[in-house]
């Protein structure tokens, strides 16, 4: 009886852990209310990332049949480069990251990583290859160290400290009563949105995925916090294929390519300077930011909202 009980108990534990991780990932994307429908093809091989080039090819997608969200979107994130997607609220920016993570399948077109259609590989291998820094990071009521090492429970204390340094969290940690051992939520410990995003960045540094999706928080941040996030983002994005879903111009200025999405279509793309020269939608957004009095590159409002 005891022999039977232990494995069952253990299986129950594993089941709860898996359910919890899935719930967390879904919550990261705000998808709990919508069931995940995509399935692995029988016998699907694992994704094999060689360089890390991501391509959206003529992708069309709608959540509901009567409301197009993406219409023929094509874009490439060459291996190791940083591509930012900007556009008004509701343009479909976050939908791109949900499709890349395969929470949904495109209705038409395809998404490939190093030439492999993401529908043809196991979801598990796909999700292992992509690290997501979501808009709103979920923290557990556990220590800061636990929260950082979540996803890499075997990380050594040295590795965690290095991730803290690179994610520009040292100041934050030094102000905590018990440093990295301080428990989130205990004795009123509050973690700001900016700190949460940097904790998520530290997680990604430990997870070390070849592809990164950074979904910038829409909430306003003070300029110190914004600078710290940008510096941390640059650490985690260097040498990785990075897709930035951006709400602030300051985040995109140094991107290798900026894609302007409007009504589910790519209307412009280029570097910050090229887009300014083009004198189109991006330039208007940029000028709007200046007219509204925000200093260059440090706006705290959602610059792309009408």
Phi, psi (deg, nearest 5) at residue 169: -110, 0
Residue 134 within binding range of ligand ATP, rule CB under 6 A: no
Residue 299 within binding range of ligand ATP, rule CB under 6 A: no
- How far apart are CB 15 and ligand ATP at their closest, in Å? 26
**Contact pick of 69, 149, 164, 212 for ligand ATP (by CB under 6 A):** 69
- How far apart are CB 264 and ligand ATP at their closest, in Å? 8
Q: Which is nearer to ligand ATP, 135 or 143 (CB)?
A: 135
- How far apart are CB 29 and ligand ATP at their closest, in Å? 9
Q: 70, 91 in Cβ contact below 8 A?
A: no
For the segment 150-169, give every residue that binds ligand ATP (CB under 6 A).
none
Residue 95 within binding range of ligand ATP, rule CB under 6 A: yes
Q: 256, 244 in Cβ contact below 8 A?
A: no
Q: Which is nearer to ligand ATP, 118 or 245 (CB)?
A: 245
For residues 149-164, one letter each, b for 16 or more C-beta atoms within 10 angstroms of the residue's C-beta and e for the rest, the string is bbebeebeeeebbebb
Q: Which is nearer to ligand ATP, 69 or 236 (CB)?
A: 69
For the beta carbon of residue 168, count every other beta carbon within 10 angstroms: 23
- How far apart are CB 67 and ligand ATP at their closest, in Å? 7
**Contact pick of 75, 83, 91, 149 for ligand ATP (by CB under 6 A):** 91
Residue labelled with tokens 């949105």:
193
Select from 91-99, 108-116, 199-207, 224-232 the region that touches ligand ATP (CB under 6 A): 91-99
**Contact pick of 63, 115, 186, 292 for ligand ATP (by CB under 6 A):** 63
DSSP per residue, 173-228: HHTSTTGGGPBTTGGG----HHHHHHHHHHHHHHH--SEEEEE---S---HHHHHH
Q: Which is nearer to ligand ATP, 97 or 116 (CB)?
A: 97
Tokens of residue 298, six digits = 């440090």
How far apart are alpha carbons 173 and 162 in whole angstroms? 12
- The burial of 2, by beta-carbon neighbours within 10 Å (0-12 exposed, 13-18 middle, 19 or more buried), is given as exposed
- Residues that bind ligand ATP (rule: CB under 6 A) add up to a total of 11
Q: 63, 69 in Cβ contact below 8 A?
A: yes
Which positions lie near ligand ATP, rule CB under 6 A? 34, 63, 69, 87, 89-95
């Amino acid at each position: 009886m005891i022999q039977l009980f232990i494995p069952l108990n253990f299986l129950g534990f594993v089941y709860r852990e898996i359910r919890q991780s899935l719930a967390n990932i879904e919550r990261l994307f705000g998808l709990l209310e919508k069931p995940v429908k995509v399935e692995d093809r029988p016998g699907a091989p694992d994704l094999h990332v060689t360089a890390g080039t991501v391509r959206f090819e003529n992708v069309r997608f709608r959540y509901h049949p009567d409301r197009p969200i993406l219409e023929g979107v094509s874009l490439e994130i060459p291996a190791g480069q940083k591509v930012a997607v900007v556009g008004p609220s509701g343009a479909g920016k976050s939908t791109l990251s949900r499709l890349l993570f395969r929470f949904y399948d495109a209705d038409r077109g395809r998404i490939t990583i190093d030439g492999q259609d993401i529908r043809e590989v196991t979801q598990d291998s796909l999700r292992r290859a992509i690290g997501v820094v979501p808009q709103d990071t979920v923290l557990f009521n556990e220590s800061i160290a636990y929260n950082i090492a979540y996803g890499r429970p075997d990380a050594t204390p040295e590795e965690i400290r290095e991730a803290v340094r690179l994610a520009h969290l040292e100041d934050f940690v030094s102000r905590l009563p018990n440093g990295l051992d301080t428990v989130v939520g205990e004795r009123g410990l509050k973690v700001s949105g900016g700190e949460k995003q940097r904790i998520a960045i530290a997680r990604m540094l430990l997870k070390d995925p070849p592809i990164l999706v950074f979904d910038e928080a829409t909430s306003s941040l003070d300029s110190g916090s914004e600078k710290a996030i940008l510096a941390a983002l640059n650490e985690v994005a260097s040498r990785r294929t990075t897709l930035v879903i951006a709400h602030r111009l300051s985040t995109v200025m140094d991107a290798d390519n900026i894609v302007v999405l409007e009504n589910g279509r790519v209307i412009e793309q280029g570097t910050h300077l090229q887009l300014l020269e083009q004198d189109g939608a991006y330039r208007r957004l940029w000028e709007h930011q200046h007219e509204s009095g925000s200093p260059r590159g440090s706006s705290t409002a959602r610059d792309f909202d009408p």
